[in-house]
Amino acid sequence: MAKDMSEQTISNKIPEPALRRLPWYLSYVKLLKTKGEKFVSSTQIAKKIDVSASQIAKDLSFVNISGKTRVGYDINELIDVLETFLGFKELHTAVVFGVGSLGAALLSDSGLEQYGLKIIAGFDVEKSVVNTKIHNISVYHSNEFLELNKELKADIGILTVPSGVAQEVSDYMISCGVKGIWNFTPFRIRVPEGIVLQNTSLYAHLAVMFNRLDQ
C-alpha cells in the first residue's frame, strides 16, 4: 500500500515538515517583492514566519540556494528556486469528484493555478449539478469520467464526496488513470503503491483547534 505523504520523506531528501514550511517563505518573499525589496535574510523571514532563522537556513539548504553574507538571499532568485522546487511552475491538471459546497468552492478558486494546479472538470451524481458549469468549468456525471479522462488526462483527483463512498470513488478515479488523490474527506482511504495520496481533513484540523481552545 502506498504511504500517505504525511508519513514519508519527500523525494527521499527533504523532510515533510520542511517542505510544508517552504510555501510560507515563498509567500512572504513575494510580498517583499511587491514592496520593492531586493534581498531578504533568514532573520527577516524568521521575524514574520515565527520559525527560527537557523531552521529557515536549514530548510532553504534543501533547495540549492545560498545567501550572501550580510546581504541575504536575492528575492527574485529565491522566488524562482522555490517555485521550481515546489512544482508550482509545472501545471498539473485535476478533477473534482463531489461538487457540493466544498467541491464547488474549489472549482471557483482560480488562485490555485498560480500554485501549479488547474482544475479542468467536476464530477457528481446529483442531477441538480450535472451538466452545469461552475466558474466556467463543466460538471459531468461521474460515470462519464472513464471515457472523458482519455482526453482530459487529469493527473490528480480531488475527493470531496461523502465519506461513505470515498474509497469506492477513489478506486474508480485510479482505475481511470489519475496518479494522485487529494482527499478532503475524513475517511482514510487506501491507495495502491505508486499512487500519491494527500489527506487534508478539515474536520481533523477543527478537532485539534477545538481541543486546544478547551485547554
What proportion of the chain, given as a percentage, has pLDDT over 70? 94
Domain boundaries, the chain: 7-86, 92-207
CATH code of the domain made up of 92-207: 3.40.50.720
**Tens of pLDDT along 149-186?**
999 999 999 999 999 999 999 999 999 999 999 999 99
In whole angstroms, give the CA distance from residue 169 to residue 167.
6
**Cell of residue 188, nine digits:** 482514510
Amino acid 66: pLDDT: 80
Amino acid at 140: Y
Helix (H) or strand (E) holding 76: helix 75-86
**Tens of pLDDT along 61-91?**
899 888 887 889 999 999 999 999 999 999 9
**Cell of residue 165, nine digits:** 463512498
In whole angstroms, give the CA distance from residue 66 to residue 55.
14
pTM of the predicted protein model: 0.82
Give the bridge partners for 97, in sequence order.
123, 159
Are 48 and 32 contacting, i.e. CB atoms less than 8 angstroms apart? no
In whole angstroms, give the CA distance from residue 47 to residue 164.
44
> DSSP label at 111?
G
What class is the 7-86 domain? mainly alpha
Are 164 and 188 contacting, i.e. CB atoms less than 8 angstroms apart? no
